[in-house]
Amino acid sequence: MFPPSAPPPTLGEATRVWARIGLLSFGGPAGQIALMHRELVENRRWIGEARFLHALSYCMLLPGPEAQQLATYVGWLLHGRRGGLIAGLLFILPGVLVMLGLSTLYTLYHQAPLTGALFHGLKAAVLAVVLDAVLRLGKRALRGWPGLAMAGAAFLALAVGHVPFPVVILAAGLIGMAARPAFAPAAANTTPATPAGDALLDRQLDAAVPPHAQPSRRRALSTLALWLPLWLGPLAALRLVTGADSVWTHLALFFSGMALVTFGGAYAVLAYVAQAAVTGYGWLTPGEMIDGLGLAETTPGPLVLVLQHVGFLAAAHAPGTLPPVLAGFLGALLTSWVTFAPCFLWIFLGGPYVEQVRTHTTITAALAAITAAVVGVILNLAVWFGGHVLFSGSRPLHLGPLALPLPTGLDIPAALLALVAFIALRHTRLGLLPTLAACAAAGLLLE
């Protein structure tokens, strides 16, 4: 796929670039995708503009972190499965290691007064980050009344009707397919604009398809035979060794299910994970859940690494014979494995058929509807976070057969910090990490 003017990189060269991208991939999926575009399309010309956007469109269709899957896809396109495995692992490895360290420190010291004050400020900043995500995604995804209606319906289904998150996503996709004329035009507008490169070189880079990227039934079957056991094997083994009711089996089963429905990235699924982990399983408290998101915002790699923090605390809090930190390590690694292993399966299995998927109008309409619903899902997450960050309690508000929680006890310093953080994110060039650091420092000063 490389013309003479653009020789292919060696695997060693590509590995060094993927390591660099993994270490610098702060700022959520938007920043990570922009970083990959700059490194791979603009600076090195390893992949053409059209093929990069082609890959991004496919990854947006998939459950899971789209930026990590995009790295895996490009690595696979350049060097086959070995290249995809290296790119995908290096994209998440720095964040996994950092989150392990942060979760350990959190487990040991989060009840210390200074740590509590630091997280008081960090939680306010996280609320601002989620609100900013609602506006950014809404601006891109809600083009016309069908999208607005879908977002509103998704919010009400979750916030008022308490409909399970996977049901909301499935319903949105089915509605998008059924109402294809209403949603398909919007799908064409969701691809982010990127600077145009050299047109001739782009056409040369995008014209050829390497042999490993062409559809093959034998290759597809071998991919399923390898990656399905790698993904689901730990679940079967843990169920056999530890029993159906152990925390290990519950973690593997729950987050394997999450890997199938995490459309829209981490923000979209966090409300459902928080509901199940906090209320359903009792693995952690609402404050610990929000703290985990704050930690994940400060690390490189996909934001869905917050699920690793949930797995760490779930295992650390579970009664057993292992020391809490060791149990937390194992729970975090198990959660990360069943979360990210399917991402490689989706790319290696579906990559050769991506052209068919991308040009299928029914699929693009379903994606547009799901993306619109994700806006409502993230808004519900913002409301959930806001209730726990800004208020000390709640009382029921009865509206006919409904009993809605009415928040009470406004935390004025937290509200002011959240407002300042929101303004900094929306109207200044301060950036995500400095904003988080400033709010954490402000929490210490206000203590």
For every residue of 142-181, DSSP letters joined together read --SHHHHHHHHHHHHHHHTS---HHHHHHHHHHHHHHTHH
* Cα–Cα distance for residue pair 391/238, rounded to 1 Å: 40
Strand partners, 394: 407
pLDDT at 393: 66
| Range from 41-50, 94-103, 261-270 carrying the lowest mean pLDDT | 261-270
- 430, with CB counted inside 10 A (0-12, 13-18, 19+), is middle
Name the residue with higher pLDDT: 305 or 2: 305
Q: Considering the chain, what percentage of its residues have pLDDT values greater than 70?
A: 81
pLDDT at 16: 95
Task: Tell me the range of 158-167, 197-206, 247-256, 377-386 where mean pLDDT is highest.
Answer: 247-256
Name the residue with higher pLDDT: 303 or 88: 88
pLDDT (mean) for 111-140: 73
Sign of CA dihedral 40, 266, 137, 183: positive
* Cα–Cα distance for residue pair 352/348, rounded to 1 Å: 8
Helix (H, G, I), strand (E, B) or coil at 401: coil
In the structure, what pLDDT confidence band is assigned to residue 97 with cuts at 50, 70 and 90?
very high
Residue 415 has pLDDT above 50, yes or no: yes
In the structure, what pLDDT confidence band is assigned to residue 194 with cuts at 50, 70 and 90?
very low
For residue 352, the 8-state DSSP code is G
In the structure, what pLDDT confidence band is assigned to residue 401 with cuts at 50, 70 and 90?
low
- 322, with CB counted inside 10 A (0-12, 13-18, 19+), is middle
- Amino acid in the structure at residue 63: P
Backbone φ and ψ for 445, nearest 5 degrees, come out as -70, -30
In the structure, what pLDDT confidence band is assigned to residue 167 with cuts at 50, 70 and 90?
confident
9-32 residue pLDDT tens: 899 999 999 998 988 776 566 667
Sign of CA dihedral 416, 426, 98, 88: positive
* Cα–Cα distance for residue pair 349/220, rounded to 1 Å: 6
Residues with Cβ < 8 Å from 147, sequence gap 6 or more?
Answer: 141, 183, 186, 368, 372, 375
- Amino acid in the structure at residue 253: L
Residue 52 has pLDDT above 60, yes or no: yes
Distances (CA, A) of 35 to 20, 31, 116, 267, 303: 10, 6, 34, 20, 16
R_g (Cα) of the chain, nearest Å: 22
Residue 229 has pLDDT above 90, yes or no: yes
What beta strand segments (E) does 21-153 contain?
none
Task: Tell me the range of 56-60, 144-148, 341-345 where mean pLDDT is highest.
Answer: 341-345
In the structure, what pLDDT confidence band is assigned to residue 312 with cuts at 50, 70 and 90?
very high
147-156 residue pLDDT tens: 899 999 999 9
* Cα–Cα distance for residue pair 364/187, rounded to 1 Å: 6
pLDDT at 215: 84
H or E, element range at 391: strand 391-399
Name the residue with higher pLDDT: 347 or 184: 347
Residue 65 has pLDDT above 50, yes or no: yes
Q: What angle do CA 370, 375, 377 make, to 5 degrees?
A: 85
Distances (CA, A) of 50 to 56, 58, 194, 195: 10, 12, 10, 11
* Cα–Cα distance for residue pair 366/140, rounded to 1 Å: 16
**Tokens 């959520």 map to which residue?**
28
* Cα–Cα distance for residue pair 29/66, rounded to 1 Å: 7
Q: Considering the chain, what percentage of its residues have pLDDT values greater than 90?
A: 23
**Tokens 């935390």 map to which residue?**
411
Contact present, 431 and 129 (Cβ < 8 Å): no
Helices 286-297 and 66-109, interaxial angle, to 10°? Answer: 120
Residue 134 has pLDDT above 90, yes or no: no
Residue 102 has pLDDT above 80, yes or no: yes
In the structure, what pLDDT confidence band is assigned to residue 191 with cuts at 50, 70 and 90?
very low
DSSP3 helix / strand / coil % (the chain, rounded to 5): 75, 5, 20
In the structure, what pLDDT confidence band is assigned to residue 193 with cuts at 50, 70 and 90?
very low
